[in-house]
């Protein structure tokens, strides 16, 4: 497994104010080159070769393909930068709560937040790797089960579009009150990541803030195999 130094970027060096503005405006923010190509492909091989539980997407009514759940102990460097990213995103999450009139606050460290999850009866890890072959897809969905839900999560692409697979675009939809759903396609490449809204986010309209509903999906893979990663900061009940 590549060392931590193989990470292509340092999260602490990013313009987090700009990331916050993108999340406010679109419900997602791109993190290009989060993982180097070497680390991305190595992670895909490591997870695929592990004893990770494999669940058909059809069994969950989520589409066609396969999910490989990562369990509580994430392989490095995932465990490290999940904690690092949480520290920055908790600041944005608390701002979202404040402007939405929600008195709840997220702790500064991931470990404390996960302790709150366990106290709420949420102890089932949700992070997984997805493997989608030709004609596979993932339907629009949300990962928001439980009382302790973090409003953002991370998605990463571990294979290269137009080289390893064709099709398989990462799609998000946004539903605002009394409006048609608005779709977006995230231009992910190998090693790229994005922070996305888990389910709901505040949006500033002409008469103040209101909540918009977000879902995400992966379009049908036309050829090859698409490997992706979805990291959740909260656990499920």
pLDDT at 2: 37
**Best mean pLDDT range from 67-76, 78-87, 134-143, 144-153:** 134-143
Mean pLDDT for the stretch of residues 201-216: 88
Residue 227 pLDDT greater than 70, yes or no = yes
Comparing 72 with 93, which gets the higher pLDDT?
Answer: 93
Local confidence band at 5 (pLDDT 50, 70, 90 cut-offs) = very low
Mean pLDDT for the stretch of residues 99-111: 93
| pTM across the whole model | 0.92
Residue 111 pLDDT greater than 70, yes or no = yes
Domains (range + CATH), the chain = 4-232 (2.60.120.620)
pLDDT at 177: 73
Angle in degrees, CA 90, 126, 212, rounded to 5: 55
Q: Which of 2-11, 34-43, 167-176, 184-193 has the lowest mean pLDDT?
A: 2-11
Local confidence band at 140 (pLDDT 50, 70, 90 cut-offs) = very high
Q: Which of 8-22, 29-43, 107-121, 221-235 has the lowest mean pLDDT?
A: 8-22
Mean pLDDT for the stretch of residues 25-44: 92
pLDDT at 51: 66
pLDDT at 206: 77
pLDDT at 11: 62
Helices (H), the chain: 16-26, 37-48, 78-100, 110-119
Q: Which long-range contacts (CB under 8 A, 24 or more apart) does 73-76 make?
A: 74/127, 74/231, 75/1, 75/43, 75/46, 75/47, 75/50, 76/1, 76/4
Residue 167 pLDDT greater than 80, yes or no = yes
Angle in degrees, CA 112, 70, 237, rounded to 5: 55
Half-sphere exposure of residue 86: CA atoms within 13 angstroms, side-chain side: 21
Residue 156 pLDDT greater than 60, yes or no = yes
């Amino acid at each position: 497994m590549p060392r931590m130094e193989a990470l292509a970027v340092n999260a602490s060096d990013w313009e987090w104010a700009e990331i916050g503005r993108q999340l406010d405006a679109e419900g997602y923010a791109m993190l290009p080159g989060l993982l180097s190509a070497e680390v991305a492909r190595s992670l895909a091989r490591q997870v695929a070769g592990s004893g990770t539980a494999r669940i058909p997407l059809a069994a969950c009514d989520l589409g066609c393909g396969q999910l490989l759940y990562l369990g509580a102990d994430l392989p490095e460097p995932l465990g490290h930068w999940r904690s690092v990213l949480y520290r920055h995103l908790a600041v944005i999450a608390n701002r979202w709560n404040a402007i939405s009139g929600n008195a709840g606050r997220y702790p500064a460290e991931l470990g404390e937040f996960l302790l709150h999850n366990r106290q709420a009866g949420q102890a089932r890890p949700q992070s997984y790797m997805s493997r989608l072959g030709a004609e596979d897809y993932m339907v629009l969905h949300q990962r928001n089960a439980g009382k302790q839900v973090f409003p953002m999560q991370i998605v990463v692409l571990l294979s290269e579009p137009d080289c390893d697979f064709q099709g398989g675009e990462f799609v998000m939809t946004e539903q605002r009150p009394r409006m048609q759903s608005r779709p977006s396609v995230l231009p992910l490449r190998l090693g790229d990541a994005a922070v996305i809204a888990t389910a709901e986010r505040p949006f500033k309209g002409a008469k103040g803030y209101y909540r918009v509903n977000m879902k995400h999906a992966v379009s049908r893979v036309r050829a090859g195999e698409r490997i992706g990663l979805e990291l959740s900061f909260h656990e499920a009940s």
